[in-house]
């Protein structure tokens, strides 16, 4: 059989395109902000992870420019060999201090960070126990590790304990969970996870990609939110969201960081983060430390929208973070509504199976600390009117 037969037989994208409902790869002709220009439409941006609104911050941009001038455009190698700059190590020390952990290392992307941590920490004979709604990068990290993966039902602590009970006492165990779940916007039950980890001798890793800068004292994330920083062994996070750049990090004890730095293949065999990216992330962290009120305003604007959508009769899921899912249930309806909302001036993200179970499709909306109530009132009115006036047949083939 021809290896490429699967490619020739892959027609689902063509079918959605022919129906005029393809929702991906929309081009922006402006920078990420609260309002953007997307394919000729001036829209309210409710589909970004720019939680603190720092992608357009002048200080962040100038820091990136200065790093380009001083260090050039890239590092031309891995951190392991020639690619470690003084700004890499300075930022790692600053981030470790901010998170109240011993040490920190950075990776090229958030996805790579989970691959690099999990594949180094867990191996054959070990067990990883993860929430079913964990990010795809966690699943791929588990596959790369060769450890045995056990999944528990989303935020179901009884099921987590059932899985832990089934593991031999001689095995090493890592419990890994998203801190803030990226689709539903709910927060993991970390106090119960920590309790069970202690009971069964497991280690705990929290993916704070959507929690850094979002929850916790001054935006320090999930562990700080619950007062459990000392009880969480590994904190992972990204720079592509609150810190307005690209890359990821791991914060942990000195001994764990040293081990991962010298054994993680995705870390050792990848080029280091370019100078401009690390400088932008570092400056964004400076601003977060200096202006912790951004975190409160982010939560305030999310709470304002939650209340406003409910008052307008929009069917939303309960969430705690600045991620508010709107229930649409059907995949085709989700695509069509997203298209209509874009035409009407609001950009949102479609989330369909397999990212969510069949029949539980959602429109994912997310918010930024620099959104204003006036912007959100207009956006919510558009969402309400679009849903009320929606007819699938009017959107197809338009």
Annotated catalytic sites, by residue? 182, 210, 241
| Residues 6 or more apart whose Cβ sits within 8 Å of residue 223 | 179, 190, 206, 208, 216, 229, 231, 232, 235
Dihedral angle sign, alpha carbons of residues 257, 262, 265, 268: positive
Closest residue by Cα to residue 257 from 120, 127, 82: 120
CA distance 248 to 241: 10
198: buried, middle or exposed (CB in 10 Å: 19+, 13-18, 0-12)? exposed
> ∠ at Cα 189 (324, 245), nearest 5°?
55
H or E element at residue 66: helix 58-71
The distance of Cα 142 from the centroid of its chain, to the nearest Å, equals 18
- C-alpha dist (Å) from residue 303 to 274, 295, 308: 36, 12, 8
Closest residue by Cα to residue 248 from 97, 107, 118: 107
Query: 3-state SS of 353-385?
Result: CCCCCCCCEEEEEECCCCCCHHHHHHHHHHHHH
Token pair 């989970």 is at which residue? Answer: 114
The 10 Å Cβ neighbour count of residue 58 is: 7
Beta strands in the chain (DSSP E): 35-38, 41-45, 103-107, 127-131, 148-152, 173-178, 203-207, 234-238, 248-252, 323-329, 346-347, 349-351, 361-366
Phi, psi for 236 (deg, rounded to 5) = -110, 150
Closest residue by Cα to residue 252 from 92, 361, 25, 109: 92
| Residues 6 or more apart whose Cβ sits within 8 Å of residue 301 | 322, 367, 368, 369, 371, 372, 373, 376
In the sheet that 35-38 helps form, which strands lie side by side, from edge to edge?
35-38, 41-45, 346-347
């Amino acid at each position: 059989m021809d290896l490429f037969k699967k490619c020739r037989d892959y027609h689902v994208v063509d079918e959605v395109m022919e129906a005029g409902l393809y929702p991906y790869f929309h081009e922006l002709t402006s920078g990420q902000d609260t309002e953007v220009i997307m394919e000729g439409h001036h829209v309210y941006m409710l589909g970004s992870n720019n939680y603190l609104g720092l992608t357009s911050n002048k200080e962040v941009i100038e820091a990136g420019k200065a790093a380009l001038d001083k260090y050039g455009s890239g590092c031309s190698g891995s951190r392991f060999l020639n690619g470690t700059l003084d700004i890499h190590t300075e930022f790692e020390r600053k981030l470790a201090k901010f998170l109240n952990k011993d040490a920190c290392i950075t990776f090229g992307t958030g996805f790579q960070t989970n691959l690099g941590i999990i594949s180094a920490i867990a191996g054959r004979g070990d067990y990883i126990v993860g929430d079913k709604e964990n990010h795809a990068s966690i699943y791929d990290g588990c596959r790369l590790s060769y450890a045995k993966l056990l999944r528990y039902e989303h935020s179901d602590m009884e099921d987590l304990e059932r899985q832990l009970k089934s593991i031999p006492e001689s095995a090493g165990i890592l419990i890994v969970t998203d801190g803030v779940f990226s689709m539903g916007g709910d927060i993991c039950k970390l106090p119960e996870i920590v309790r069970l980890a202690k009971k069964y001798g497991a280690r705990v890793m929290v993916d704070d990609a959507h929690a850094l800068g979002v929850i916790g004292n001054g935006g320090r994330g999930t562990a700080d939110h619950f007062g459990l920083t000392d009880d969480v062994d590994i904190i992972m996070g990204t720079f592509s969201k609150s810190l307005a750049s690209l890359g990821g990090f791991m914060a942990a004890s000195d001994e764990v960081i040293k081990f991962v730095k010298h054994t993680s293949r995705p870390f050792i065999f990848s080029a280091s983060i370019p100078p401009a990216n690390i400088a932008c992330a570092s400056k964004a962290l400076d601003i977060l430390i200096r202006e912790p009120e951004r975190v409160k305003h982010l939560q305030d604007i999310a709470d304002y929208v939650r209340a406003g959508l409910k008052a307008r009769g929009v069917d939303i899921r309960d969430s705690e973070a600045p991620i508010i899912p709107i229930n649409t249930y059907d995949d085709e309806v989700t695509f069509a509504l997203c298209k209509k909302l874009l035409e009407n001036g609001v950009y949102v993200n479609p989330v369909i199976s397999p990212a969510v179970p069949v029949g539980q499709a959602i429109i994912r909306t997310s918010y930024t600390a620099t959104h204003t109530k006036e912007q959100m009132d207009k956006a919510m009115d558009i969402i309400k009117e679009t849903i009320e006036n929606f007819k699938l047949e009017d959107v197809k083939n338009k």
